[in-house]
Amino acid sequence: MMKRFAAVLAIISSLALIFNFYIPVSANTEVVTEKQLKEELLQIQITGYFFQDIEKHWARNELYQLSHIDIMKGYDDKTMKPERTITREEYVAMLVRAAGISTSGTASQHYSDVTSQKWSYASISAAKNAGLLTIFSGASFYPEKTITREEMAVITEKALTGIPASGTGLSFKDIASNYKYRDSIGKISALGIINGLPDGSFNPKGNATRAQAAAIISRFLKVREPSREPGDTTLSSMVQHYEKTVLNNANEGKYTMGDALFQSIGKENLLNEKRGQALKNLSQAGVTYKRSLTGFEAEVLEKSKYTAKVRITYQLEVTAADYSANRYSAAKTVYLKNLGNRWTVYNTEAAYLFAGRIEKPKKVNMSWQYIGNYTPDMTGTAKIDGLDVVSPTWFTLTDGSGGLKSTASLKYTEWAHQSGYKVWVLVANDFKADITNAMLNNTQARTRFIDSVITESTKFRVDGINIDFENMYIKDKDAFTGFVKELSAKARQKGLTVSVDVTVIVSRSNWSESYDRAALAKEVDYVALMAYDQHWAGSPVSGSVAQISWVDAHLAKVLKEVPAQKLLLGVPFYTRLWKEVTLPGSTTPVVTSKAISMAEAEKVIADNKAVKTWDQLSGQYAATFKKDNATYKIWLEDERSIQLKTELVNKYDLAGVASWKLGFEKPAVWNVISSVLKTNNAL
């Protein structure tokens, strides 16, 4: 299938070459638009390489090739003037560029009329030093004199080092057997570099035109060495590396395109400069794409000492900032020039087929549901709009040998599925570090527990597994990652989604440093950040459960380790009612608290006629009241505070939101969460 497709695209690519432009090609119902070509595919028109006076000329292809390599330049009026005669210095400069003869270093004056002030001084000096100019043995070179066909033939033959004649040279009626330059003319005519005139003559003293010079240089570039340049695999790899370099420069925001510029010359080099400017313009407009290449295939069509032609095909995926993506099938003809020590790209002709669109993933809206010793009957419970996933706390590690306690209910799963929810069963360690340590570090116990989780998950037809291991020993960090990796592998075999819960990053805490968040993110589909308990149950001071500034700061830290597209932001549906009592003889209050739901919090404020005020730092309403010689403080979680937290999902383009715990929220909160997430999903 790929070979057939490649053949079709090769034809398209050939058409692009003939007409010298990029062709947007339709596929099914959609077309690659000019906007997609410029912004997503980075194929920008290079108008400076079009010459109106050679479109129907016999040497059109040769003239374009040399202009693309920057061996031959056009005129300011956008013409090539193919029939204009060419001077000695112009031809020598072209041949030096074509043969890759270095003009760097110290040049010498070999002719009285070619001084260092002459534009062609370095090229003529390099050609003389390389032994190409033996035909010009006098003191003067006459650089502006029109070069003859004979002079072109001799100079070009001298540049053919290491390439013996193949076949028999042509016979010309005006070239006698004892003609001084017969051997040189015979060699390059045998190689097909130069031909005679229609009447069978060579016309050695005839003036050469720019078109004739271009044809000779172009044929010179295509002459193969006797070995036919083995190593096509290396050349294919080089072309693949170049394509990836262009994409990587774009993905990394390298507007200078320095790596790609190093690997390109001529027309392709200018294209890379324009690509960089286009990337910069897109970035300034807030538009970014990630590009990835797969299914690369290459075929070397031509290869000589100096040039090569490679046909490539691959699949290109262009992903936008919202994770939606377009797929394209690309076919390119890549033209290369050997600079002596490396191959470099001087032109590419591309064609694209639109292969489909991948919509960005819908934001996850998940809520944990606490289940005690039995699962309640949820029959008749109304569907919550916007909620996608419920995570019942069903599975618990019971001992160090890998025992599992399950309170799962098939009736619950059936209710959830009928309501349009997915079920991600929560797997907990009951906050017990010792039994967790024993299980994690015993292969048999670990396998027993994992197999039990998989078996029970299958039995109760859940859709995913949420791993909620908390309060582990820091020394068990790597063991926990290994456990998650093993569990994830077996879960994926059953088609289960896997997520793991982690805390915010703090130092010297079993509750935080026992997670290798970056390593865990590689093994699971989602990482849920429990961004709450800023002030926990045993906090010595009263405070918010999750200030917006605190959540934002800790979220930014975790995002350095966990990719945004995998991160769920955990938000609290609970708050704490703080009680401060100052005992006689003390100036420091004793602080206690209890977790309460949103509705309970509002009732406490109403019952005690407390006044709510907006706390900008916390992003919450706060209230204080006194009762029975105690001071009570509360920072509310409600529609407004949850909206601010959920908006962080959009700010960082996270995978979604998770909430603790289902049943503690006010009904209006679901509309807020759903509305915020839909705003992002609609981008």
CA distance 245 to 259: 7
Which sign, positive or negative, has the C-alpha torsion 265, 270, 272, 273?
Answer: positive
Write out the H or E segment, with its range, that includes residue 10. Answer: helix 2-19
Q: pTM for the full model?
A: 0.62
pLDDT class for 320, splitting at 50, 70, 90?
confident
- Mean pLDDT is lowest, of 30-34, 352-356, 447-451, for 30-34
Q: What is the pLDDT of residue 341?
A: 85
At CA 359, angle to CA 285 and CA 392, rounded to 5?
Answer: 115
Q: Summarize the chain as % helix, strand, coil (round to 5).
A: 35, 25, 40
Name 139's Cβ contacts closer than 8 Å, sequence gap at least 6.
111, 112
Task: Quote the DSSP letter at residue 209.
Answer: B
CB–CB of 295/314 below 8 Å? yes
Model confidence at 4: pLDDT above 70: no
Residue 394 tokens read as 């069903």
Model confidence at 1: pLDDT above 50: no
Domain with CATH 3.10.450.50 in the chain: 2-48+228-358
CA distance 362 to 656: 8
CA distance 451 to 456: 9
The CATH H-level superfamily of 364-530 is Glycosidases (3.20.20.80)
Model confidence at 206: pLDDT above 90: yes
- Mean pLDDT is lowest, of 229-243, 330-344, 638-652, for 229-243
Q: What is the pLDDT of residue 268?
A: 97
CB–CB of 630/591 below 8 Å? no
CA distance 455 to 512: 30
Q: What is the pLDDT of residue 491?
A: 96
CA distance 101 to 93: 10
Name 557's Cβ contacts closer than 8 Å, sequence gap at least 6.
504, 505
- Mean pLDDT is lowest, of 57-71, 206-220, 285-299, for 285-299
Question: Measuring CA to CA, how many Å separate 339 from each of 297, 307, 344, 453?
Answer: 25, 9, 7, 62
Place of tokens 């340049």: 229
What CATH number belongs to 2-48+228-358?
A: 3.10.450.50
* pLDDT higher at 190 or 213: 213
Domain with CATH 3.20.20.80 in the chain: 364-530
Instruction: Kindly state the average pLDDT of the residues 560-580.
Output: 97
Quick: pLDDT tens for 487-530: 999 999 999 999 999 999 999 889 999 999 999 999 999 999 99
Query: What 3-state DSSP class applies to 566?
Result: helix
CA distance 331 to 314: 7
CA distance 239 to 343: 9
pLDDT class for 286, splitting at 50, 70, 90?
confident
Model confidence at 12: pLDDT above 50: no
CB–CB of 535/576 below 8 Å? yes
Place of tokens 């569990």: 487
Instruction: Kindly state the average pLDDT of the residues 343-352.
Output: 95
Quick: pLDDT tens for 407-428: 999 999 999 999 999 999 999 9
Q: What is the pLDDT of residue 167?
A: 67
Q: What is the pLDDT of residue 682?
A: 40
CA distance 484 to 481: 5
Instruction: Kindly state the average pLDDT of the residues 565-582.
Output: 97
Question: Measuring CA to CA, how many Å separate 297 from each of 25, 332, 434?
Answer: 20, 11, 54
Query: What 3-state DSSP class applies to 430?
Result: coil
Quick: pLDDT tens for 369-403: 999 999 999 999 999 999 999 999 999 999 999 99
